[in-house]
Amino acid sequence: MTKNKDIPTEFKRLKVPENYKWEVHNLHAYASKKEKFAKGEITLQELQEFEHQYRESEEQREWRWRREHIMAELERENASNFRAFKENGKEFAKKMFDMGRGISKWWYTKPIKAAPGKGKLVQNPITGNWQQEYKPNRSMNMRKWLDAANQGKVMPHMNPTGQSLNREPTEEEKGISAEAKKSRGKKVWQWLLNETDNFGRGWTDPKWGKLYKGRPGRGGRNRRPGTYTVK
């Protein structure tokens, strides 16, 4: 595992407990496997084999465990510092100054409320973090909300024309949705090519032939790139 100077010494000496759970990375396939196991279509052994095949490495598990403990320790330290600051802010500030450390300005400064709504900002008495109270603009039960939705009187920011939400989309709207879906797919595909360096093939055309930039694993279903024979 790569060394990290930011990890406290006491955490480097600890070992990951054996009962700490492993994470499975192939989440969609894992959910499908668990669903099949619940229906009795696969055995427990098959499910466990899948979990073992796609689980995280030992280094990833160790790093995740250490990160959780470090974050918890930082939260406890922050809560302790905020309590000391509230009890005697001047003395605590002097102590931090002598140690070459600063104090979060949000401990003594109220931020400007950016989120819309009637709820006011309140400071957490333990951590010093600010959060907005949940206060709905007006109460409305589910039946009244559904009636208003049928009349197009809800979510005006997403439905400026005031059309009923309980309707089938028009052919024009279906076309707009299909074009948007196609555009998103192209962006995702381009991002995937860039992240994987064209699936490890790079972007430089070979001296003979043409660089393939299609999807891997398509087999013989698609026309292969042209090849050239050196004479």
Render pLDDT for 111-165 as a digit per residue (tens, 0 to 9).
Answer: 887 666 677 888 888 888 888 887 666 666 778 888 888 888 877 777 788 888 7
The structural domain count of the chain equals: 2
Q: Of 184, 221, 219, 216, nearest to 197 (Cα)? A: 216
Which pLDDT band, with edges at 50, 70 and 90, does 2 fall under?
very low
Whether 205 is covered by a domain: the verdict is yes
State the pLDDT at residue 10. 52
Whether the predicted pLDDT of 91 surpasses 70: yes
169 lies in some domain: no
- Across the chain, mean pLDDT equals 80
User: Domain boundary residue among 103, 137, 165?
Assistant: 103
Q: Show the domain range for 209.
A: 174-214
pTM score over 0.85: no
Residues 203 and 212: their CA atoms lie apart, in Å, by 9
Give yes or no for a contact between 208 and 230, defined as CB atoms under 8 angstroms apart: yes
Structure confidence by residue, pLDDT tens digits, 34-81: 999 999 999 999 999 999 999 988 888 888 888 888 888 888 988 999
Mean pLDDT of 200-206: 75
What pLDDT is attached to residue 149? 83
185 confidence band (pLDDT: 50, 70, 90): confident
Is residue 1 scored above 50 in pLDDT? Answer: no
Picking from 86, 103, 120, the residue at the C-terminal end of a domain is 103
- Does 137 fall in a domain? no
More confident call, 26 vs 222: 26
Any domain includes 95: yes
Q: Is residue 20 part of a domain?
A: yes
- On whether both 97 and 13 belong to a single domain, the answer is yes
Residue 120 lies in a domain: no
Last residue of a domain, one of 85, 103, 121: 103
Instruction: State the number of CA atoms in the 13 A half-sphere of 107 facing the CB.
Output: 19
Asked if residue 154 is part of any domain, the answer here is no
d(CA 208, CA 156): 58
Note whether residue 222 is domain-resident: no
- Contacts (Cβ under 8 Å, ≥6 apart) of 164: 149, 150, 151, 152
